[in-house]
Each structure stands twice: as C-alpha cells, then as structure tokens.
Amino acid sequence: MNIHFWGVRGSLPAPLTPQQIRAKISAAIQRVQPKDIATEDARERFIASLPSWLYGTTGGNTPCIEVTSSGGTKIILDAGTGIRMLGKYGEPPKDMRYNILLSHFHWDHIQGLPFFDPLYNEKSVINFYSPFDNMQSLFHEQMREPFYPVTMETCTQHLSFNTIEQKKDVMIGDVQVRTIEMPHPGKSFAYSLIEGDRKFVYATDIELNHPDFERTKEHDAFFMNADALVIDSQYTVEEAYAKQGWGHSAFCYAIDFAVAWKVKKLYLFHHDPMYDDRKLNSILQSALWYADYSAKNAVQIELAMEGVEFKL
C-alpha cells in the first residue's frame, strides 16, 4: 500500500497567513551567515538545512488521504478540501475507479467533494462507502442552491452509495476494509485497511479520553499490530480537558493507545487550525519526548503533513 496525505487539518482550512510567511522569512534570515550565501551551492545547502517547519509547511487543507494498493485499487479516506488537490495533481487509477470512505459528515470532511474534478468526468466510476445509510441525500443536500450552484445531477452517472456495517469485512478491490464507531459528536467511524500482511488504520475525530470510550476486544482486534495508524491528535492535554466532549484527542493519549495496541508507526493528524508550523513542530517534539519517556520509543512518531507519502 502507498499512503499519500492530501489534507491533514481539522475543523476548517488554515492557509498560511502573510504574517506567518513573514515570520518564516525573518527566522530564516536570522540564521544566515556570509558563507551561506557565497555561492549558489552554498545557498541551496543553507535552504536544505533549515528545519522542516521553517522550510516547508504542514499544510492547511482539511482531511483527505489517498491509499493505493499494490494492485492499483484507489481508496480515498474523507473528502475534505485536500480532495481538490488530489483530483488535480494525483495519479488517476487506470480503471478510473475511485472508492471514497467517509468517516462522518461534518463539514471539514466533505467540503472538498464539489471541487473534486473526477466527480464531473463521465469516465470516472466513484463508489462511496459509509456506515451512514443516508449519505446520498446528504450529498444532494450539499450540492444544491443556495449552498452550491452545481447539483449532483451534473456529476458522472457512475456513482454508487454503499452502506457498510460495523465489524464486518468488505473487500474493495484487493483491500480488506473494516469500520468501527468512535466517540465523537454525531458519530465518527474509523477504518482498518488490510492488504496481505500490511495493516493501515485511519481514526480521525476520536476522543480517546471520553468517559464512554473503553478499550474492548473489538478495539483490540481493530487497532492491534497496525503497521501505521493515523489518529486525531488535535489538542494538548490542557485543551483536551478544557474541551471535553468536543470529540478530539491530545497527542499523548494517542501515543498511549498506540503503544497499548502495539502500533509500529503513529501519525499525528487533524491538526488544530490555530496552530502554525512552529507550534506543530513543538507538539511533535513534545510527542517524541513523551514517547521516549513513557514508552522507550516503542512506537515511531510522525507528523502528518500534506504531500508526505509512505509505503507499507
């Protein structure tokens, strides 16, 4: 499986502001020494030496992850604003078949769909999957006046809406898919994707410290021994306590559960729109310290960033 991040923010899009760009430029200039600008090669080396939060950006699009199996099956997890970029710059599947799994229908997870170019290509075959049995009517409601000028009737006619049951395996191409409900206002569903002996789990919008969330046999079977887990880590601990019931988790809770479930690699995801790149980098450093202190680095910690991809 190949996994590509197209959108990693939560709640709403968070593009870089002019102030943030100026702050990045100022911080880079403060690091410059005469030798760093002496030659073109020196300038390139200097740029490459800048910390990732300064040289690049985590990204501002809302949730969308592309999973491509070794056999070419294309699975898209959520349709936040990142799906627009996927439609424009992603590699289309050879059979033009897109499979979109929806965790839930809060705005940040569906707002990119009307801007997904393949939706309007008559050659596209788009299959939607979700435990919500009313997803077709919800999409029709989103794409009509006065909310949007283009209706679903203008989309490819090759659309299907498939309701999937919790804890029951569904084969999508050569990928085994399972879903389970997570604690979040209005319900949210995590997805487990298995191809061969590789397991990828997507668990956005989950409140791990919710009083109703208990570790069960079903949770263990779903999460245990995942090769990679993308999980909601929107808050610091202080924020998680202050915003209990809002449906999101602190990064340290995510690490605790990943260690308990013997996850190999953990991606912090669903970043708060108020956090700039420097803040997110500080959260990553705190997460690395916490993982070292509490779990002796039993799990590899990464920050989900737009444009990053990895293979399982």
Which pLDDT does position 282 carry in this prediction? 93
Q: What is the mean pLDDT of residues 73-87?
A: 98
Structure confidence by residue, pLDDT tens digits, 10-25:
999 999 999 999 999 9
pLDDT at 209 over 90: no
Cis peptide before 146 (omega within 30 of 0): yes
- The rounded distance, in Å, linking the Cα atoms of 106 and 167 is 22
Task: Give the 3-state secondary structure of the chain.
Answer: CEEEEEECECCCCCCCCHHHHHHHHHHHHHHCCHHHHCCHHHHHHHHHHCCHHHHCCCCCCCCEEEEECCCCCEEEECCCCHHHHHHHHCCCCCCCEEEEECCCCCHHHCCCHHHCHHHHCCCCEEEEEECCCCHHHHHHHHCCCCCCCCCHHHCCCCEEEEECCCCCCEEECCEEEEEEEECCCCCEEEEEEEECCEEEEEECCCCCCCCCCCCCHHHHHHHCCCCEEEEECCECHHHHHHCCCCCCCEHHHHHHHHHHCCCCEEEEECECCCCCHHHHHHHHHHHHHHHHHHHCCCCEEEECCCCCEEEC
- By CB neighbour count within 10 A (0-12 exposed, 13-18 middle, 19+ buried), where does 157 fall? exposed
Which pLDDT does position 181 carry in this prediction? 93
Structure confidence by residue, pLDDT tens digits, 83-125:
999 999 999 999 999 999 999 999 999 999 999 999 999 999 9
pLDDT at 253 over 80: yes
Global pTM value? 0.94
pLDDT at 126 over 90: yes
CA neighbor of 80 nearest in space, from 20, 14, 161, 148:
14
Which pLDDT does position 245 carry in this prediction? 86
Q: Encoding tokens for residue 11?
A: 């709640």
- The rounded distance, in Å, linking the Cα atoms of 33 and 21 is 21
* Stretch among 100-104, 127-131, 151-155, 212-216 having the lowest mean pLDDT: 212-216
Instruction: Report the share of the chain in percent with pLDDT over 70.
Output: 100
- The rounded distance, in Å, linking the Cα atoms of 100 and 109 is 11
Q: What is the mean pLDDT of residues 71-78?
A: 97
- The rounded distance, in Å, linking the Cα atoms of 65 and 112 is 12
Which pLDDT does position 252 carry in this prediction? 92
Q: pLDDT grade, residue 182 (50/70/90)?
A: very high
| 65-to-9, 83, 145, 204, 256 alpha-carbon distances in Å | 11, 8, 29, 11, 24
Bridge-partner residues for 304, per DSSP?
Answer: none
Q: pLDDT grade, residue 203 (50/70/90)?
A: very high
Q: What is the mean pLDDT of residues 136-157?
A: 91
Give the dihedral of Cα atoms 133, 136, 141, 145; nearest 10 deg.
180
